[in-house]
Amino acid sequence: MKKPLLLPEEQPRKAQRADRAPASGFSLVVDGHYKNEYPDEAAAKIAATELLGRYPMLLIEIYDGEKQTRSKFS
């Protein structure tokens, strides 16, 4: 008799909408579109540095959800 295959339970994904600004934390804005969210500004800057190193033609900004401001990253 075969044993049933047990799959690990998947955690529900937090749906992120690209057309809405996050309410908290920091987010990368790449060419006007919201991308990944980060808990602090240092992590967002590291990700922006890596992305800009690979694709120097992109316009990257860091969005602060608490203050609701964008700062250009170059």
pLDDT, residue 55, reads 92
pLDDT, residue 28, reads 92
- pLDDT for 9 beyond 90: no
| Phi then psi dihedrals of residue 73, to 5 deg | -110, 125
| Alpha-carbon gap, residue 54 to 61, rounded angstroms | 16
Tens-digit pLDDT profile for residues 14-53? 666 666 777 888 999 999 888 888 999 999 999 999 999 9
CA distances from 72 to 23, 28, 64, 67, 69 (A): 19, 10, 11, 15, 10
Asked if 47 contacts 36 with a C-beta cutoff of 8 angstroms, the reply is yes
